[in-house]
Amino acid sequence: MEREYALFVSQADKLQYLTDQHRRVYYGDEFCERLLPGAQELTRVLERVRDAGRAFTLVTPYVTEAGLAQVEALAALLPAGTEVVFNDWGVFRLLKNRYPALVPVMGRLLTKIKRGPRIMNFLDKLPPAALEHYRRTNLDVPRYQRFLEDNNIGRAELDNPLQGLDLSGVSTRLRLSLYIPFAYVTTTRFCLTANVDTPDKKGFIGVFPCQRECRTYTFYLDNAAMTTMLIRRGNTIFFRNTAISETIRASHVDRVVVSPEIPH
């Protein structure tokens, strides 16, 4: 199967990573509405991607009501036929009701799978049925497949977990994208990077005013219980996984989304 390769960036200046291999650009943020681009920045990126002859996909996070208004302002700027990755069902409802000419893509935050790397500590001790369960996603549930089809959601995004993926039960009518090399473990609105430059805020955890400190600082977390290094960027924890299993290679995944830097 011929696979499309897409470049995923969250800032306009990261388009420097665009190569001939990338036929599409993913742009936006999956994890924080405060990192969504403004209208002028989105317009500039759209123009640059169009001039480069690439397809474009806008990526959006889970949102509050304020964030939903931001997403709507961006959606209004997109040409008909543009893909929008949604990681919030409220964003999908907005697209469905107000922007039916845009193409909804279900984000990887809504694809449910065991994500934590600790599973590798006991993977070889699991019975076959349990191992199969941990490699499957909600995308192979027949009722869920019908829901996606009924709502004209024709593509879903996937992480690359350490235990691998079994996509044999996923309908071939549902197109699939695989994100590499950074897989996310967990995310929250309580950003531990906010106010990291303010000593008086030490020990405070909450939803604080944001100076986008996450674009300056990255934290690497090492723990004996983990089988790989964890990476904290802003409000989200990731790990790096460059290995693509043979089952994924043999599946109907037809797009690979490449992040040259840690998302955010």
What confidence category does residue 83 fall into, taking pLDDT thresholds of 50, 70 and 90?
very high
The pLDDT assigned to 198 comes to 77
Q: What percent of the chain has pLDDT over 90?
A: 78
Q: Is the residue at 146 inside a domain?
A: yes
Q: Measure the CA–CA gap between 133 and 119, rounded to whole angstroms.
A: 12
**Rounded mean pLDDT of 236-242?**
95
What confidence category does residue 129 fall into, taking pLDDT thresholds of 50, 70 and 90?
very high
Q: Is the residue at 217 inside a domain?
A: no
Q: Give the total number of structural domains in the chain.
A: 1
pLDDT value at 259 more than 70: yes
> What are the tens digits of pLDDT across the range 133-189?
999 999 999 999 999 999 999 999 999 999 999 999 999 999 999 999 999 999 988
Taking a C-beta distance cutoff of 8 angstroms, is the pair 103, 81 a contact? yes
Q: Which residues contact 170 (CB under 8 A, 6 or more apart)?
A: 137, 139, 140, 145, 176, 251, 252
Q: Is the residue at 222 inside a domain?
A: no
Note the pTM of the prediction, 2 decimals. Answer: 0.94
Q: Is the residue at 215 inside a domain?
A: no
Q: Is the residue at 37 inside a domain?
A: yes
pLDDT value at 195 more than 80: no
Q: Is the residue at 249 inside a domain?
A: yes
Q: What is the DSSP string of 43-75?
A: HHHHHHHHHTT-EEEEE-----HHHHHHHHHHH
CA atoms within 13 A on the CB side of 94: 22
The domain that holds 82 is classified in CATH as: 3.20.20
> What are the tens digits of pLDDT across the range 5-22?
999 999 999 999 999 999
Q: Is the residue at 48 inside a domain?
A: yes
CA distances from 261 to 15, 151, 206, 218, 256 (A): 11, 33, 26, 11, 15
Q: Specify the residue for token string 């040409």.
A: 79
What three-state secondary structure class fits 77?
coil
**Residue-range definition of the domain harbouring residue 94:** 4-184+241-258
Q: Is the residue at 264 inside a domain?
A: no
> What are the tens digits of pLDDT across the range 18-52?
999 999 999 999 999 999 999 999 999 999 999 99
